[in-house]
Amino acid sequence: MSSVNTAHSVVEPSRTSKRIAATIVIAYAVITMIPLVWIVLTSFKSPPDSISYPPKIVFQPTLEGYCNLFTTRTRQTSEYITSLGAPTSTCDEITRSRNMVIAGPSNYWPRFQNSLVIAFGSTFLAVSLGTLAAYGFSRFKVPLAEDLLFFILSTRMMPPIAVAIPIYLMYRELGLSDTALGMILLYTAVNVSLAVWLLKGFIDEIPREYEEAAMIDGYTRMQAFFKVVLPQATTGIAATAIFCLIFAWNEYAFAVLLTSGAAQTAPPFIPTIIGEGGQDWPAVAAGTTIFVVPILVFTILLRKQLLRGITFGAVRK
């Protein structure tokens, strides 16, 4: 802020107005967190507790939701269960108390792994291609640069379902349907537009003089790019990478239309988790909690760059 904004400044809000503002904002923040807190609480409830009325705020916490999330179970007679030896794990014990035994692992972990592979793979590619293109646009006179940049941005604005129709046909021809490679390429294409726009802003901020100096010292342009520009752009590259990661991590429309098994990511999988007699809400909540925690961490890491990321680098403060 400018130097005139001191304690005596006429524009400094009064103490009362600050207090009122704080009360309303904090109230909003608390209300907005209720749904999330509720999901985390539900993940530690037993299935009967999760659907009780009135909703239970105080309850006996259990890991049943997490056990159900990671396993598939079959119902057995109590004679069969007593004939088994002592339970080998907490999950074993919880499952047996419901007259069931663990039949095997569920699909959640493979889907979660797919999410990791596809998100990191596409982020790496998008940021690499994006950094190169952003440097090109930032430092060289490119013919039709404005139009190319608009073209790049407009690809991100396309409705995903409209894009998915021809992609579906193309991937079927190329054998890329339901493969991690297909999803990585697709997410890279969507993210590269964000990466170019964001990184161009970051690279524009690095003074050209640094490279010019390096080139006088005998570096080639290429060496100057790798040894001078890239280290200077680290913060921007990291912030861009996190934005790409979040997009790929959260994406649903392409994932549900183009993957069905081998390459399916977590978002289309979580809603399909069902237990006996309908949706197993504690397991769904557990899957959601595990899936959302990385995003919370990233939000905190990114808080200073958020504004820039969501406006394609247009607003910088």
Partner 1 sequence: MPKFRKETQVTSVTDTSSSLLGKAANATPAPIASRIRGISDRSMAWLFITPAIVLLLAINIFPLIWAIYLSFTNFRANRPNAPIEGVGLSNYSRVLNDPNIWQAMQTTAHFVFWTILLQTLIGFSLAYLIDRKFRGHAFWTTVILVPMMLSPAVVGNFWRFLYQPQIGLFNYIVSFITGVPPSSFEMLGSVQLSPWAIIIVDTWMWTPYVMLICLAGLRSIPDYIYEAAEVDRASLWRQFWSITLPMALPFIMLAVLFRGIENFKMFDMVTLLTGGGPGSTTEVASITLKREAFESWRTGRASAFAIILFVAVFGLANIYVKALNKVKQR
- Please list every residue from 199 through 228 that binds partner 1, using CB under 8 A: 208-209, 212-213, 215-216, 218, 220-223
Of the candidates 128, 134, 156, the residue with the CA atom closest to the CA atom of residue 247: 156
* Residues whose CB falls within 8 Å of the CB of residue 30, separated by 6 or more in sequence, listed in order: none
Query: Are 186 and 254 in contact, with CB atoms under 8 Å apart?
Result: yes
Among 136, 177, 231, 238, binds partner 1 (CB under 8 A): 136
By CB under 8 A, tell whether 192 contacts partner 1: yes
By CB under 8 A, tell whether 154 contacts partner 1: yes
The CA distance from 230 to 234, in Å, is 6
Closer to partner 1 by Cβ: residue 81 or 145: 145
The CA distance from 250 to 264, in Å, is 13
Structure tokens given for 170: 């193309």
Among 97, 113, 155, 260, binds partner 1 (CB under 8 A): 155
Q: What angle do CA 202, 204, 209 make, to 5 degrees?
A: 120
By CB under 8 A, tell whether 80 contacts partner 1: no
Among 71, 113, 152, 280, binds partner 1 (CB under 8 A): 152
Q: Which stretch binds partner 1 (CB under 8 A): 64-72, 76-84, 100-108, 287-295?
A: 287-295
By CB under 8 A, tell whether 148 contacts partner 1: yes
Among 7, 8, 17, 85, binds partner 1 (CB under 8 A): 17
Closer to partner 1 by Cβ: residue 75 or 227: 227
Please list every residue from 39 through 58 that binds partner 1, using CB under 8 A.
Answer: 39, 42, 51-55
Among 102, 241, 285, 286, binds partner 1 (CB under 8 A): 285
Closer to partner 1 by Cβ: residue 72 or 155: 155
**Residue 235 Cα distances to 110, 228, 232, angstroms:** 32, 14, 8
Q: Which helix (H) or strand (E) holds 67?
A: helix 64-70
By CB under 8 A, tell whether 310 contacts partner 1: yes
By CB under 8 A, tell whether 13 contacts partner 1: yes
- Omega of the bond leading into 54 within 30 degrees of 0 (cis): yes
Structure tokens given for 109: 């972990």
Q: Which stretch binds partner 1 (CB under 8 A): 79-87, 91-99, 126-134, 230-238?
A: 126-134
Show the site string, 239-278: x = touches partner 1 by CB under 8 A, - = not.
Answer: -------x--xxxxx--xx---------xx-xx-------
Query: Are 273 and 279 in contact, with CB atoms under 8 Å apart?
Result: yes
The CA distance from 50 to 68, in Å, is 14
Applying CB under 8 A, the site for partner 1 has a residue count of: 115
Closer to partner 1 by Cβ: residue 101 or 163: 163
The CA distance from 54 to 56, in Å, is 6
By CB under 8 A, tell whether 234 contacts partner 1: no
The DSSP output letter for 81 is H
Place of tokens 């923040």: 29
